[in-house]
Structure 1
Amino acid sequence: MELKTAKRWFNWHKWTSLICTIFLLYLCLTGLPLIFHEEIEHLLEDQKEVIARDQQKLDLDHLAKIAESKYPGEKVRYAFWDENDKNKVLFDVVDKPDAPYEKSKYLVLNEYTGEVLGAPKTDGLMGIILKLHTDMFLGIPGKLFLGLMGILFMISIISGIVLYGPIMKKFDFGMVRKNKSKRLKWLDTHNLLGIAITAWMVVVGFTGIINTLSDVILGLWQQGQLAEMTAPYKNQKPLTGNFSSLEEAKKSAENTIKDMKVSVIAFPGTPFTSKHHYAVFMRGNTELTAKLLKPVLIDAKNGKVTDTRDMPWYVNTLFLSEPLHFGNYGGMVLKIIWTVFDVFTILVLITGLYLWIARRKAERQWKPLSKKALS
């Protein structure tokens, strides 16, 4: 590599790394507990045993009324089922369908008995850490800013790979010059750790960038596929209540797609459907397909299925990116691997910051000596 080209790549690596290092350290530190968020939430929340006392689950409309009775004057807008929490349903209750999520009241009910099992602590420790990690409590601007830091991180990785190749032509791969100066030892350690976990950093960095675009992706889906699916209802008056049966909507979706399970039901007027439809989102039964959703739109006036389609590729990319970003695919083994690589990334960032400070210090010391030598 020519000296001029090498210097250009070095400057790209130095400045992109410097700009994003503090924020990447912040993301690595907040990301560590999120790898184990399910296990931590299980320890922090009060767990009530769910016993199926009857063979038949209660009607979903009845369960929704129980949830609404806890907040008079307000209505259910979403129903959620978690594949890991059997025999439970989570309701989101609000005063109006388009209310901000900060206004949501969540209730978990036993599907067999109707017993209220409590509410998830969205403002608890893990909820706070998640907000810090995803948008720094700044909403969409915070997400997009962290996405920009992710792009700089990817540029620093690519430039680091370009620089590392020519260096290793002169030395043994993975060498650490322990008998040389402290700065050289840290430089070799930084290079070795960085190249060893490059693939992981690319995966986590790229999926992190995709996750910061979740609101953009939702907007594209709303204006694209969702608008096409609801186009026949575009000029009709919005439904204002007296919706068809929620239970029947769930059964219709299950009968339409028999090899999938219900994951979420969105009520008319919410961002994930139209003002005329229930949107029943189905998920698969395997480790991979359980991360993907397929919408079934049901006319909330007569309960008939009007359309169902596979999600566009860009939405499926988002669905697959979020669990991969946190290592939530292969159980505890993958989570431990993600933790080890996260710690190594922290070391790479710290050593990189140390090398920059040490280089600056050395330059300040050499400048006066250079002037004396020239005078």
Structure 2
Amino acid sequence: MNRANWFSIHSWLGVKLAIMLCFIVLTGTLAVVSNELDWLANPAKRVAPSSVESMNWQKVYASAQQQAPVNSLRSIQAPLHRWYSAEVIYLDVNGQRHRLFFHPTSGKFLGDGRWLNWQRFFRMLHRHLMLPLTLGITLVSLFAVVLLAVLVSSLYTYKSWWTHFFRKPRWQHRKTRWVDLHRLVGVWSLWFLLIISVTGCWYLAERWGANATSPARLTATSTEALAKQTMPSVPTFTAMLVQTQRAYPELAIERVNFAQASSDVIEIQGQGSAVLVRPRANFVTFDPATGQLIQHQDGRDLSVHNRISEAADPLHFGVWGGMFSKIVYFLFGLFLTGLTVTGTYMYGMRVARISRHELKPRRRIWRQALSHMKALGWVSAIGVCASIFYGVFIFFA
């Protein structure tokens, strides 16, 4: 194909699908900092960093038992940062999940929160558009294929694209100004676009059969734990933590999952020496009644397939480098959102045939751009509005 054909693909995908593409990228950008939005919205999630020495799992566990029935506890999550509280998930009498927040060192109860917080809201909007999982994930992941096609077509459309990294935009005329800004931001965003599009394509492959098979989890061994859901006593829980440090000294514990049914184990997860894996890749499990060590997994021992699967989330959401990488992803997410908008605006200028001396053409430019989206534009707009309205409905219900 020649350059004109690649440009046609680039502009067709960027304009016809601009509304949904912009929405998915924007919600993904907000999902990156959704935990920080919850931190701002809920005072119970905030602690003074100077008051935190280390995560005292025993005190948080003991304190959580005073706030909710012990058998209703589902997990304890360590703070994401030193200024965050520890989080406990529990089920109420109706089987609905709720959050409890505790000071990570003293174990003091700080308050509670709903399960449907900002993190869940933006995750659900971005991941599956509030649709049934298979349908929603498939639809969103197909837009990762679109992003990949936009990326490839842009490289063929703009000759010597690598020369645009430090090229100063021309400000004399609105068309050259927007074209140059679009190219400048685009070339600096290539790495980001490649990461999120490839990982998004991987999510599509996983949903339709390419998912990795997780190593088998062993069950509890004691008679008590095999007969019913069992929660450890505080001394038994403390002994599990001590054994974890002995069996897996490099493990930085991030999460503890409690037994939810008979034969379930206690699973302690975290980050070890393996690079680019979720906490679930490194774990130690125990019998909840006796505290006996059942199983130990190091993320470095996983198969290549599993390692690819585990790397997808850290790469896609930018959590691999802590707060620094999340800020970088947030900024480039805004850049990519801006590219969808400026690309549509540039197309509108081209089809509207705006003269150099026309003073206020913006309305006509946008009208022309939107009219060329045709049916796909209407479908995208309706889908975006429906997702937002339904999300707001269940969020505030």
Aligned to 1:30: 27
Question: How much is the aligned-residue C-alpha RMSD, in angstroms?
Answer: 4.7
TM-score by length of 2: 0.66
Matched, 1:18 2:15: yes
Aligned to 1:146: 140
- 8 Å contact kept, 2:259–2:265: yes
Q: Select 1:203's aligned residue among 164, 175, 195.
A: 195
Aligned residues: percent identity? Answer: 18
Long gaps (5+) in structure 1: 366-375
CA offset at residue 199 of structure 1? Answer: 2.0
Aligned to 2:373: none
Describe the superposition over 1:134-161 as per-residue Cα deviations: whole angstroms up to 9, x where unpaired. Answer: 3332352323321111111111111110
Describe the superposition over 1:314-340 as per-residue Cα deviations: whole angstroms up to 9, x where unpaired. Answer: 554455444444444556665554444
Aligned to 1:157: 151
Aligned to 2:186: 194
Describe the superposition over 1:227-277 as per-residue Cα deviations: whole angstroms up to 9, x where unpaired. Answer: 2x43898xxx9541345533333332222101212221222347xxx9432
Q: Select 2:128's aligned residue among 117, 129, 135.
A: 135
Alignment of 1:1-375 (within 5 A): 5-37=2-34, 39-46=36-43, 47-48=46-47, 59=58, 64=61, 66-72=63-69, 75-82=72-79, 84-85=81-82, 89-94=86-91, 103-110=96-103, 113-120=106-113, 122-125=115-118, 127-138=120-131, 140=133, 141-165=135-159, 174=167, 183=175, 186-210=178-202, 220=211, 224-227=213-216, 229-230=217-218, 238-244=226-232, 245-269=236-260, 275-284=263-272, 293-311=281-299, 312=302, 313-317=304-308, 319-328=310-319, 334=325, 337-361=328-352
Structure 1 residues 318, 45: CA separation in 2 closer, same or farther (over 3 Å shift)? farther
- 3-state DSSP class of the match of 1:264? strand
Give the Cα–Cα distance (whole angstroms) in 1 for the partners of residues 51 and 348 of structure 2.
Answer: 62
CA offset at residue 287 of structure 1? Answer: 9.5
- 8 Å contact kept, 2:266–2:288: yes
- 8 Å contact kept, 1:134–1:212: no
Residue identity opposite 1:195 in structure 2? V
Structure 1 residues 58, 215: CA separation in 2 closer, same or farther (over 3 Å shift)? same
Structure 1 residues 106, 288: CA separation in 2 closer, same or farther (over 3 Å shift)? same
CA offset at residue 293 of structure 1? Answer: 4.0
Describe the superposition over 1:5-45 as per-residue Cα deviations: whole angstroms up to 9, x where unpaired. Answer: 44443343233333542223223433444454455443332
Give the Cα–Cα distance (whole angstroms) in 2 for the partners of residues 307 and 172 of structure 1.
Answer: 51
- 3-state DSSP class of the match of 1:225? coil
- 8 Å contact kept, 2:220–2:288: no
Give the Cα–Cα distance (whole angstroms) in 1 for the partners of residues 227 and 248 of structure 2.
Answer: 26
Give the Cα–Cα distance (whole angstroms) in 2 for the partners of residues 323 and 160 of structure 1.
Answer: 26
- 3-state DSSP class of the match of 2:130? coil
CA offset at residue 127 of structure 1? Answer: 4.3
More relative contact order, 1 or 2 (CA 8 Å, 6+ apart): 2
- 3-state DSSP class of the match of 1:357? helix
Describe the superposition over 1:48-68 as per-residue Cα deviations: whole angstroms up to 9, x where unpaired. Answer: 5599899995846xx546534
Give the Cα–Cα distance (whole angstroms) in 1 for the partners of residues 37 and 274 of structure 2.
Answer: 24
Structure 1 residues 177, 70: CA separation in 2 closer, same or farther (over 3 Å shift)? closer
Stretch of structure 1 that moved more, 192-201 or 353-362: 353-362
Residue identity opposite 1:225 in structure 2? S
CA offset at residue 353 of structure 1? Answer: 1.3
Give the Cα–Cα distance (whole angstroms) in 1 for the partners of residues 190 and 48 of structure 2.
Answer: 44
Long gaps (5+) in structure 2: 354-367, 369-397
- 8 Å contact kept, 2:4–2:157: no
Give the Cα–Cα distance (whole angstroms) in 1 for the partners of residues 148 and 287 of structure 2.
Answer: 45
Give the Cα–Cα distance (whole angstroms) in 2 for the partners of residues 92 and 324 of structure 1.
Answer: 26
- 8 Å contact kept, 2:75–2:258: yes
Larger Rg: 1
